[in-house]
């Protein structure tokens, strides 16, 4: 009978934990148009797949045990489209999901477990920051290391053994910021905010009069900081984006992404691809149209589309195989790469190299955006960082020079001598130190017009891909209409090789934000 009573008491405690912070806190969360942590878990995971750890955890502060179910953080395992993941969800209804000793221990131990089993890790952020008065005083502050002398590092590290995803779903401070900056992929729901400290705290500390939106709204991180990879319209859209991202990724860095069935009509526009590229060499066009023609239908998954827009970085599939594309976007500043674009590209190289995703580079750029503003943003350092990362990429690299590929920009896009495994050009390619017209103006601008025009045309002709192919600096010049078939053949070759394209992951510990 004593055991039966204990079981009944245990069941009561678990039922109480399922009520989160109580009906009024749940109502408050719903009034803001936001779901609770448990509702979010249920909506993201496959039905009935969630196994929770630490439901009975609570604050270790005397008198707070019954007020802190699960201590504001819910952790466990589940599946998304049948794929096993670990999931952590901030529970805003319990003291705004603030960090405490037990809360921190749950996160620390669970992350170690996820790393041990090399499972994807999804963090659903809402609230955060340090919990007062728990962290006050010397004991309060130093006891945050109660799990060991190095336990704090779990919040700031990601060795890219398995994909780490962070979703920003409410007003997030502190821990969710660290989780976002360490993640492989970040999605932010419109209406949420992400910052180190909240506006309320700043008003008291430095008398600043900013709003949370001004410091960390979705436009700040999607357009200016680049911390956010994608923006979601609402929570359901957020879960859709997470599922789609996971669908492109392997479960861990020892495996390849799954091969998918090829959608109908894939490649049907290859015969029309010549209509996309303008005859006039200086006219802009939309690189997305080129990409859409080449890849499997409906498989472009953009990363950071509103940040560094002179570069496109996207996951896609070609004949069912996942590929990472880095492409210049001539529609924005002629495709000239700025510091934001270089950061964006560097982070993408790290992602693809860490998770065995072959890289495809599509060249059409005059080089870099330069000038005083660029120098103030350390353009030289950004170029060097990008080249440093590129030199350490060990997954297969394919480069196609579509049109412009000048100077250092040619190297940064994995051009000749910059490590491509496979390197071809379209007949429209122009490869040179400078734009041939600019070079002609520099070298021959003072000559009579007739002579100048003749020498300028010679400059343009010398930039064509034929001479480089003749010396085997290019492996081939291909008909643009054959690009998809060429890539399918190359990807089949890679798949048939030893390891199938699994890399050495030299960039797994590269900083996620820099």
pLDDT at 205 over 80: no
DSSP tally for the chain: helices H, then strands E:
19, 17
Predicted local distance difference test score (pLDDT) of residue 204:
56
Confidence of residue 452 (pLDDT cuts 50, 70, 90): confident
Which residue bears the tokens 């678990």? 14
Q: pLDDT of 268-287, one tens digit each?
A: 999 999 999 998 888 999 99
Could you give the 3-state DSSP secondary structure of residue 335? helix
How far the first Cα of the chain sits from its last, in Å, is: 61
Is omega for the bond preceding 365 within 30 degrees of 0, making it cis?
A: no
Is residue 198 within 8 Å of 205, Cβ to Cβ? no
Q: For the chain, state the CA radius of gyration.
A: 26
Cα-based distances in Å from 455 to 94, 189, 428, 438: 74, 55, 20, 12
User: Element (H or E) spanning 454, and its range?
Assistant: helix 449-462
Residue scoring higher pLDDT (130 or 290): 290
**What is the DSSP secondary structure assignment for residue 471, as one 8-state letter?**
T
Q: 455 is written with which tokens? A: 């020498």
Q: How many CB atoms lie within 10 A of CB 358?
A: 26
pLDDT value at residue 137 = 82
CATH of domain 8-248: 3.90.226.10
- C-alpha 160/C-alpha 351 separation (Å) is 8
pLDDT of residue 39: 98
Q: Do 186 and 164 touch, CB atoms closer than 8 A? A: no
The pLDDT, as a whole number, for residue 209 is: 73
C-alpha 134: how far from its chain's center?
Answer: 34
Condensed to tens digits (0 to 9), the pLDDT of residues 180-198 reads 999 999 999 999 999 987 6
Alpha-carbon distance 138 to 143, whole Å?
A: 8
Task: Average the pLDDT over 399-414 and give the result.
Answer: 94
pLDDT score of 249: 98
Cα(137)–Cα(17) distance, integer angstroms = 29
Mean pLDDT of 74-97: 96
CA distance 242 to 256: 19
Q: What is the pLDDT of residue 206?
A: 59
| Residues in contact with 408: Cβ distance below 8 Å, sequence separation at least 6, in sequence order | 367, 368, 383
Rounded Cα distance, 419 and 429, in Å:
19
Q: Could you tell me which of 251, 309, 313, 316 has the C-alpha nearest to residue 284?
A: 309
CATH of domain 270-429+464-496: 3.90.226.10
Whole-number Å distance between alpha carbons of 174 and 182: 13
Average pLDDT over residues 376-388: 93
pLDDT of residue 138: 82
**In the chain, where are the structural domains located?**
8-248, 270-429+464-496
Mean pLDDT over the full length of the chain: 92
The yes-or-no verdict on residue 356 having pLDDT over 90 is yes
Are residues 435 and 485 in contact, defined by beta-carbon separation less than 8 angstroms? no
Say whether pLDDT at 400 is over 90.
yes
- As a dihedral over the C-alpha atoms of residue 462, residue 463, residue 467, residue 469, rounded to 10 degrees, the angle is -170
In this model, does residue 146 exceed pLDDT 70? Answer: no
- For 258, which DSSP code? P
8-248 shares its CATH topology with 270-429+464-496: yes
For the cut 70, the answer to whether the pLDDT of residue 208 exceeds it is: no
- What is the pLDDT, as a whole number, of residue 199? 63
Pick 436 or 30 by higher pLDDT: 30
Mean pLDDT calculated for residue range 217-224: 95
Per-residue pLDDT averaged across 356-362, rounded?
98
Question: Would you state the pLDDT for residue 132?
Answer: 84
Q: What is the pLDDT of residues 305-326, one digit of tens each?
A: 999 999 999 999 999 999 999 9
The whole-angstrom separation of Cα 137 and Cα 151 is 19
């Amino acid at each position: 009978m004593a055991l039966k009573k204990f079981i009944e008491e245990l069941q009561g405690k678990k039922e109480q934990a399922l009520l989160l912070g109580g009906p009024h806190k749940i109502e408050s969360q719903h009034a803001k148009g936001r779901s609770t942590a448990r509702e979010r878990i249920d909506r993201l995971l496959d039905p009935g797949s969630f196994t929770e750890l630490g439901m009975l955890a609570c604050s270790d502060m005397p008198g707070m045990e019954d007020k802190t179910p699960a201590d504001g953080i819910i952790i466990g395992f589940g599946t998304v489209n049948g794929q096993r993941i670990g999931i952590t969800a901030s529970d805003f209804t319990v003291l705004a999901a603030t960090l405490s000793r037990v809360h921190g221990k749950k996160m620390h131990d669970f992350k170690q477990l996820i790393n041990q089993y090399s499972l994807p890790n999804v963090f659903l952020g809402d609230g955060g920051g340090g919990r007062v008065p728990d962290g006050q005083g010397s004991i309060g502050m130093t006891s945050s290391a109660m799990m060991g002398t190095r336990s704090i590092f779990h919040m700031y590290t990601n060795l890219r053994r398995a994909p780490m995803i962070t979703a920003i779903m409410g007003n997030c401070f502190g821990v969710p910021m660290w989780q976002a900056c360490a993640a492989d992929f970040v999605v932010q729901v419109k209406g949420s905010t992400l910052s180190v400290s909240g506006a309320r705290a700043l008003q008291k500390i430095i008398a600043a009069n900013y709003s949370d939106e001004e410091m960390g709204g979705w436009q700040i991180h999607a357009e200016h900081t680049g911390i956010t990879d994608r923006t979601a319209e609402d929570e359901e859209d957020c879960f859709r984006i997470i599922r789609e991202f996971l669908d492109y990724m392997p479960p861990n860095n020892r495996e390849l992404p799954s091969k998918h069935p090829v959608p109908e009509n894939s490649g049907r526009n290859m015969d029309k691809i010549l209509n996309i590229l303008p005859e006039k060499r200086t006219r802009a066009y939309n690189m997305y149209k080129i990409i859409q023609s080449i890849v499997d239908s409906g498989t472009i998954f953009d990363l950071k589309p509103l940040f560094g827009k002179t570069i496109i970085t996207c996951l896609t599939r070609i004949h069912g195989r996942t590929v990472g594309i880095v492409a210049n976007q001539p529609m924005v500043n002629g495709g000239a790469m700025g510091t934001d674009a270089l950061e964006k590209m560097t982070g993408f190289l790290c992602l693809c190299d860490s998770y065995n995703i072959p890289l495809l580079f599509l060249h059409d750029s005059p080089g870099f955006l330069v000038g005083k503003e660029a120098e103030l943003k350390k353009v030289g350092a950004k170029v060097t960082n990008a080249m440093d990362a590129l030199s350490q990429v060990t997954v297969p690299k394919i480069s196609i020079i579509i049109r412009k590929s000048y100077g250092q920009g040619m190297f940064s896009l994995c051009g000749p001598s910059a490590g491509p495994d496979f390197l071809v050009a379209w007949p429209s390619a122009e490869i040179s130190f400078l734009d041939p017209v600019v070079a002609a103006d520099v070298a021959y601008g003072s000559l009579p017009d007739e002579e100048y025009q003749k020498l300028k045309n010679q400059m343009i002709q010398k930039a064509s891909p034929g001479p480089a192919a003749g010396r085997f600096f290019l492996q081939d010049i291909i008909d643009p209409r054959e690009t998809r078939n060429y890539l399918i053949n190359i990807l089949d070759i890679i798949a048939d090789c030893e390891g199938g394209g699994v890399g050495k992951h030299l960039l797994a510990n590269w900083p996620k934000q820099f």
